[in-house]
A = this chain, B = another copy of it.
Amino acid sequence: MDTSLILQNISKHIQLTPEEEAHFVSLLKPRSLKRKEMLLQEGEVCRYSTFVTQGCLRSYTLDDNGTEHVLSFAPEDWWIADLYSYFSQRPGTLYIEANQPSEVLQLSKDSQEQLYQDIPKFERFFRILIENSLVSNQQRLLDNLSLPAQERYRNFCQRYPSLVNSLPRKQIASYIGVTPEFFSKMMKKMLREQ
């Protein structure tokens, strides 16, 4: 189990002693995922926060027509969960699925609560993580309210530069909130114009 990436991720916000690092690592459960393997489905309780060490996951909902709406992507070095379900430990609405064969480290809700008791610094770490998520989520919401699809695509490229050329276009289309057909037309237009 390779924990260097996650320890580095944590060290961006809090400093841990070697003992604390060891304690944290002991709470992690590694898991391998095949392409298209589901980590979570609608109606299930999200019992883990998941950190991606290799590959890429995505979270999405299905609406009444069965259309997929992508909430987030999690490439290497990102966290992912159905946060409503995770925080409340009630059944959620999100699907979380591996886009590619992936390696992840999982921290259970119980372990996380324990961690807050044992090493209060982690309360700070996860608070900062969530603060950053909230800020970018608010910005994305405002973008969706105020910007045309072209600009939202440009913002997507900023946010996930490593994914622009490796993700199916229909998933990018879903993330920015347009149909694959419209996305295709839009990309052609953007090429023509520059």
Q: Which of A4-12, A36-44, A141-149, A156-164 contacts B (4 or more CB under 8 A)?
A: A141-149
Q: Is A123 an interface residue (CB 8 A)?
A: yes
Q: Is A119 an interface residue (CB 8 A)?
A: no
Given contacts A131-B87, A146-B67, contact A140 B141 (CB under 8 A): yes
Which residues 42-87 in A have Cβ within 8 Å of B in the complex? 61, 63, 67, 69, 71, 83-84, 87
Given contacts A123-B127, A130-B127, contact A145 B144 (CB under 8 A): yes
Q: Is A15 an interface residue (CB 8 A)?
A: no
Given contacts A83-B138, A84-B139, A134-B137, contact A69 B127 (CB under 8 A): no
Oligomer: number of copies:
2
From the candidates B71, B124, B138, B139, name the one contacting A142 in the complex (CB within 8 A): B71
Chain A contact residues, majority secondary structure:
helix
Q: Is A120 an interface residue (CB 8 A)?
A: yes
Show the binding face of A for B, using Cβ within 8 Å.
61, 63, 67, 69, 71, 83-84, 87, 116, 120, 123-124, 126-127, 130-135, 137-142, 144-147, 174, 177
**Besides the known contacts A61-B142, A137-B137, 4 further A-B residue pairs in the complex with CB atoms under 8 A apart:** A63-B146, A69-B145, A87-B131, A145-B174
Give 20 pairs: A residue, B residue, CB < 8 Å, sorted on A: A61-B146, A69-B145, A69-B146, A71-B142, A83-B135, A83-B138, A84-B139, A87-B131, A87-B132, A120-B123, A126-B127, A127-B127, A127-B130, A130-B130, A130-B134, A137-B141, A141-B141, A141-B144, A144-B144, A144-B177
